[in-house]
Amino acid sequence: MRFILPVLLAGAALAGCYDREANAPKAASAPETAATLGGVDLGKPVRALGAEPFWGVEITPDALIYTRVDQPTQRAPNRGATVQGTVATFASSTDLNQALNVVLIATECSDGMSDRTYPLTAKVEIGDDTLTGCAAPASMLTAQPAP
């Protein structure tokens, strides 16, 4: 019996240390805003494109859609961009089981075929191919006259 009393007293002392405020549920954090690169909101549709061969990647909030004149269109889920400094990388795998990596760099780019200047430079790796080109918000490409 003389051992039970100290154990009960120690338990009561520890119960007094419980801090209800520290264990209260915390408010949900604010949703993250979409990443921005070179003034381009990556949470909105972005289009990367290049020539020789002509190719394009439409980046939507849900998908990466790769097109090329001599190949079938391929779709991949958009898992979001990893942004480090002036570089954003989208990594996924297409419905034809090819790795698809789209790298956007915050440097101005000219497509070499028109007078259009793009806010981003693009590099696309799909399967064994590495393609380079330019990128811009899709809204900018539809608003400007075609070359």
pLDDT tens digits for the chain (147 residues)?
A: 455 545 444 555 545 554 555 555 554 443 344 689 999 999 999 999 998 889 999 999 999 999 999 899 999 999 999 999 999 999 999 999 999 999 999 999 997 777 789 999 999 999 999 999 999 999 887 765 544
CA angle (43, 58, 110) in 5-degree steps: 95
81-84 vs 87-93, strand pairing mode: antiparallel
Instruction: Give the pLDDT confidence score for residue 70 in this predicted structure.
Output: 87
Instruction: Give the pLDDT confidence score for residue 7 in this predicted structure.
Output: 47
Which two tokens mark 38? 């070179």
Which two tokens mark 39? 């003034």
SS3 at position 23:
coil
Instruction: Give the pLDDT confidence score for residue 31 in this predicted structure.
Output: 38
- Preceding amide of 53 cis, omega within 30: yes
Distance, in Å, from the CA atom of 35 to the CA atom of 12, rounded to the nearest integer, reads 51
Which two tokens mark 124? 């696309």
Q: How many residues appear in the chain?
A: 147
Instruction: Give the pLDDT confidence score for residue 51 in this predicted structure.
Output: 87
Residues 75 and 69: beta-carbon distance below 8 Å = no
Give every CB contact of residue 47 below 8 A, 6+ residues apart in sequence.
56, 57, 58, 59, 135, 136, 137, 138, 141
CA-based end-to-end distance of the chain: 94
